[in-house]
Amino acid sequence: MPLYFSEREIVLPGQLLSDNGNRGGEGTYVLGGMVYASRLGFATLRNNKVHVIAFKGAYIPQPGDRVIGIVIDVKPNGFDISLGRHLTATIRIPDKKEVQALNLKIGDVIYANVRESGLRGVYIDHTGRIKKITSGLLVSMHPLKIPRLIGKRGSMINMIKKESGCELIVGRNGLIVIDGPSPANEFAALSAIRMIDREAHSQGLTERIRILIKNILEGEKSVEG
């Protein structure tokens, strides 16, 4: 069963990847027993299936995802939450007292779990797991690049936290809150996020980001000193 790509090759919609129609994975389609790419991204073989890891694309919520959202409407039985410019989620609570107890108003930022996502819409879990975020720098990046920001077993995100001295809350939907001791620390973390957003699919990124943060913070010191 030949493959028509090398590992991590950039592939384009319509590109032939395999002549075994059983091996079609994410970002592919099968036509006439052959597997083709349906999206622009990296081709990769995982568990004997051909996948295309897209560079860009819409965030599709999955139950259990941790997301950051902004309250955009307050209703008697819950809230509407913006998960970015393309997507709204809903919090529905049968008990009105519970709604009031959450004490959320329009413009508040929350960190919460996706409970359900499907044809009926996206619903946020309200059972005691909504955290209100009251300060920090709210930024966005391409949702598909969030796994790169986190890195293998959290290697990237932990390094950014350590080097920049900031706390980072990461929403799977592409929203991130940076909270640091000074604007300079927050800018350093923000620059790291911007670099990942631009170059997520390149290799050796962790080390370059470490250097980037160091340079920014040292540059700041020398200016102040």
Partner 1 sequence: MSAIPPQSKKSLIAGIVQEKIYNLLQQGKRLDGRSPVDLRPITITTGIVEKADGSSLVSLGKTKILVGIKTEIGTPYPDRPKEGSFTVNAELLPLASIGFEPGPPDERGVELARVVDRSIRESKAIDLEKLCLIEGEKAYILFIDIYVLDYDGNYYDPSVIAALAALVTAKIPKYEVVGGKVQKTGEYFNLKLQKLPFTTTFGLIRGKFLVDPQLEEEAALDVSIIIGVDQEGNIVSIQKNSPGLIPETILEQLIEIAQEKTNAIRNKFCEALNIVI
Partner 2 sequence: MKDSSMRLVKEDGTRIDGRRLDELRPLSIEIGVLEKSDGSAYVQLGRTKVFAAVFGPKEVHPKHLALPDRAILNCRYHMTSFSVDERKPLGMTRREIELSKVIREALESVVFLEEFPRTSIDVFIEIIEADGGTRTAGLTAASLALAEAGIPMVDLVAAVAVGKIEGQIALDLSDLEDKYGEADMPIAMAPRLNSIVLLQLNGRLTREEFKKALELGKKGIMEIYQKQRDALRRKYSEEALMEV
Per CB under 8 A, residues contacting partner 1 are 70, 72, 82, 85-86, 106-109, 133-138, 177, 183, 187
**Integer angstrom CA distances of residue 78 from 93, 96, 99, 102, 116:** 5, 8, 6, 10, 15
Residues that bind partner 2 (CB under 8 A): 10, 12-14, 27, 29, 31, 36, 38-41, 54-58, 85-88, 119, 144, 198-199, 201-205, 208
Query: Cα 68 to the chain's mean position, in Å?
Result: 10
Give whichever of 18 and 38 is closer to partner 2, judged by the CB atom: 38
Residue 63 interaction partner, one of partner 1, partner 2, none, beta carbon < 5-8 Å per kind: none
Give whichever of 5 and 111 is closer to partner 1, judged by the CB atom: 111
Give whichever of 85 and 152 is closer to partner 2, judged by the CB atom: 85
Answer left, alpha or beta for residue 194, where phi above 0 means left and psi between -120 and 50 means alpha: alpha
Residue 178: CB minimum distance to partner 1, A: 10
Nearest residue to 24 via CA among 5, 56, 49, 43: 49
Residue 203 interaction partner, one of partner 1, partner 2, none, beta carbon < 5-8 Å per kind: partner 2
Distance CA 135, CA 127 (A): 23
Residue 181: CB minimum distance to partner 2, A: 30
Residue 139: CB minimum distance to partner 1, A: 9
**Integer angstrom CA distances of residue 211 from 22, 152, 167, 217:** 44, 19, 19, 10
Residue 134: CB minimum distance to partner 1, A: 7
Distance CA 51, CA 44 (A): 5
